[in-house]
Amino acid sequence: MKKFAFVFAALISFSILKAQDKIIVNADLGTTTINKNIYGHFAEHLGNGIYGGIYVGEGNTKIPNTAGVRNDIIDALKKLKIPLLRWPGGCFADTYHWKDGIGPKADRPSMLNVWWGGVTENNSFGTHDFLNMCKAIGADPYLAANVGSGTVQELADWVKYVNFPEGSGPMTQLRAKNGQKEPWNVNYWGVGNEAWGCGGNMKPEYYANIYKQYATFMASTKDRPTFKIASGANSDDYNWTEVLMRDIPTEMIDGLALHHYSVIDWNKKSSATAFTEEEYFTTLKRAWKMEELVTKHSTIMDKYDPKKKIALVVDEWGGWYDVEPGTNPSFLFQQNTMRDAMIAGLSLNIFNNHASRVRMANLAQTVNVLQAVILTNEEKMILTPTYHVMEMYNVHQDATLLPTYLTAGNYENGTDKIQAISTSASKDKNGKIHISVVNIDPNTKHEINLEMRGQKMGKVTGRILAAAKIQDHNSFESPNKIVPVVFKDFQTTNTGIKFTMPPASVLVIETIE
């Protein structure tokens, strides 16, 4: 009897281990839409993010461009289906005066970019340039307004300049004089940036009052209401969220921002490429922190806004490392490895799964800065592993979130551990179901049993992003070292499929009944 009990216990233990990584997708229980703006991006006047990156000048004959914006970047961002682009900052936004960036370029005054390297900003890329670029790539613009050093009148004028119909007053006359008769109808407006830091070092009570003052004079039109986004918390500053939700009436605010970077230590960051596994583990642990942050900030918001009218807007997120050797430390240019692909896949799964509250997020940043999706060097351009993850994941945009239940093992490093598998699932308007799965464990393959409930699983296809090492990256010499490839290694089971995730990989599965 004892022998039988031992064998039975061993079989149970073995069964638990074999079933440890399991995903259950409830295909018939989806009610929440994954807002496409979760897949937004952020472009600041920082380093070579705008100049030398997105914008090369209208007189540039070496690099093909449209009105000074690189054609290859326009094409790449259109393929990415980028839904939203935040501009002009960042810290830069609270020193930016929009009227300096309109009119004939030769007449635009220069300024000192005090935040990012003390370089001269000539304002050749301004409101018209940005908004016309957004139209070219099919993205909605998100304008970050100057609250730190600007005025209420300045912001009120900017809203009228870009949104009001011709003949509505002096701002629309000025717009027409500068070559744009019809309004752009910009929906999304950030009322300041990081008011707790570079945006003014304010206390939340003070900023709440300032926000209400500025928001009061941001007039809407019948065709385009202004979606106002308050400068929200720095990572786990829950008191900031509490005060703003308490002090700002819900009818005056549409979104509340949150900023969180996956950085090891602000005083001692790791190399973007020559990092250790311990540094990799710590970075991914910081990325997993997003789950806790979104949950706790949402809980505070639920107390004041139970109907979830106000969106949680994660308008700065991504990995932050040391700059590449030999580059300007203030330009924040870093390479992009499989570690960044892990951060992207994990973070996007978190945002998807919290889609009832998280309705916008902006990766920092689009080109040549921090966790960029594109890197440029003169006429050369490469797509990073992060680009490929976001391209694979764009199938979730405006799809219906499907509840998933995950049982997963851990990725261990010494005595510490984090969950190794992350997932989210959705059903699009054509009935196709997509399941995105990330294995952040760099050492171990993970066997996944995927069970579909509420719908039969039909033909299954997949695309995977993986590499030999977590430090691997695309370079200007080898631009296609890491690209998505077709994944076919699925085994049919009684309830769904079984497959094995390689170490440090991202997989997107598609199926339709």
Could you report the per-residue pLDDT of 285-324, keeping only the tens digit for each? 999 999 999 999 999 999 999 999 999 999 999 999 999 9
For residue 128, the number of C-alpha atoms closer than 13 Å in the C-beta half-sphere is 20
Q: What is the mean pLDDT of residues 267-276?
A: 95
Taking the C-alpha atoms of residue 268 and residue 276, their distance in angstroms, rounded to an integer, is 14
Lowest average pLDDT, out of 248-257, 420-429, 453-462, goes to: 453-462
264 CB neighbour count, 10 Å cutoff: 20
Q: What is the DSSP string of 241-295?
A: HHHHHHHS-GGG-SEEEEEEEE-S-TTSPPPSSS--HHHHHHHHHHHHHHHHHHH
Reply yes or no on whether the pLDDT at 509 is more than 70.
Answer: yes
User: Which H helix or E strand runs over 502?
Assistant: none
- 423 within 8 A of 37, measured Cβ to Cβ: no
- What are 140's strand-pairing partners? 84
Q: What is the DSSP letter of 403?
A: -
Angle between helices 204-216 and 238-247 (to 10 degrees): 40
Which is it for strands 65-66 and 69-70: parallel, antiparallel or unpaired?
antiparallel
Q: Does any domain span residue 107? A: yes
Lowest average pLDDT, out of 165-169, 183-187, 211-215, 343-347, goes to: 165-169
* pLDDT for 220: 87
- What are 197's strand-pairing partners? none
Q: What is the mean pLDDT of residues 231-250?
A: 98
- What are 191's strand-pairing partners? 145, 230
* pLDDT for 417: 97
- 9 versus 441: which is more confidently predicted? 441
Taking the C-alpha atoms of residue 177 and residue 190, their distance in angstroms, rounded to an integer, is 26
Which is it for strands 255-262 and 311-319: parallel, antiparallel or unpaired?
parallel
Q: What is the mean pLDDT of residues 371-387?
A: 97
Please give the model's pTM, rounded to 2 decimal places: 0.94
Could you report the per-residue pLDDT of 448-463, keeping only the tens digit for each? 999 999 999 989 999 9
Res. 5 pLDDT band, cuts 50 70 90: very low
> Which of 278, 345, 89 has its CA nearest to residue 199?
89
* pLDDT for 225: 86
Q: Does any domain span residue 407? A: no
Averaged pLDDT score across all residues of the chain = 94
* pLDDT for 355: 98
Taking the C-alpha atoms of residue 50 and residue 164, their distance in angstroms, rounded to an integer, is 27
Which is it for strands 459-465 and 485-487: parallel, antiparallel or unpaired?
antiparallel
Taking the C-alpha atoms of residue 74 and residue 71, their distance in angstroms, rounded to an integer, is 5
User: Which H helix or E strand runs over 33?
Assistant: none
Buried b (16+ CB within 10 A) or exposed e, 352-369: bbbbbbbbbbbbbbbbbb
Residues 6+ apart with CB under 8 A from 27: 402, 427, 433, 452, 453, 454, 455
CA 435 vs. chain centroid, Å, equals 19
Q: Does any domain span residue 18? A: no
Taking the C-alpha atoms of residue 115 and residue 95, their distance in angstroms, rounded to an integer, is 9
Taking the C-alpha atoms of residue 250 and residue 241, their distance in angstroms, rounded to an integer, is 13
* pLDDT for 214: 98
Res. 13 pLDDT band, cuts 50 70 90: very low
Q: Does any domain span residue 489? A: no
Joined tokens for residue 121: 């900003």
- What are 41's strand-pairing partners? 85, 363
CATH number of the domain within which 85 lies: 3.20.20.80
Taking the C-alpha atoms of residue 149 and residue 137, their distance in angstroms, rounded to an integer, is 31
* pLDDT for 404: 97
Angle between helices 152-163 and 127-137 (to 10 degrees): 40
CA separation, residue 250 to residues 147, 213, 232, 313, 414 (Å): 20, 15, 15, 15, 46
Active site residues: 194, 316
> Which of 19, 117, 32 has its CA nearest to residue 407?
19
- Three-class DSSP category at 213: helix
Could you report the per-residue pLDDT of 91-141, keeping only the tens digit for each? 999 999 999 999 999 999 999 999 999 999 999 999 999 999 999 999 999
Q: Does any domain span residue 330? A: yes
Q: Which stretches within 318-411 are classed as H helix?
A: 338-353, 385-393
Q: Does any domain span residue 471? A: no
Res. 513 pLDDT band, cuts 50 70 90: confident
> With pLDDT > 90 as the criterion, what percentage of the chain qualifies?
92
Reply yes or no on whether the pLDDT at 7 is more than 70.
Answer: no
> Which of 299, 479, 465, 278 has its CA nearest to residue 389?
465
Number of domains in the chain: 1
Joined tokens for residue 70: 């690189």
Could you give phi then psi for residue 111, rounded to 5 degrees?
Answer: -145, 170
Residues 6+ apart with CB under 8 A from 90: 42, 44, 45, 46, 115, 144, 193, 316
Is the backbone peptide bond immediately before 90 cis, with ω within 30 degrees of 0?
yes
* pLDDT for 59: 87
Reply yes or no on whether the pLDDT at 14 is more than 70.
Answer: no
Domain that holds residue 317: 36-398
Reply yes or no on whether the pLDDT at 498 is more than 90.
Answer: yes
Q: Does any domain span residue 503? A: no
Q: Does any domain span residue 68? A: yes
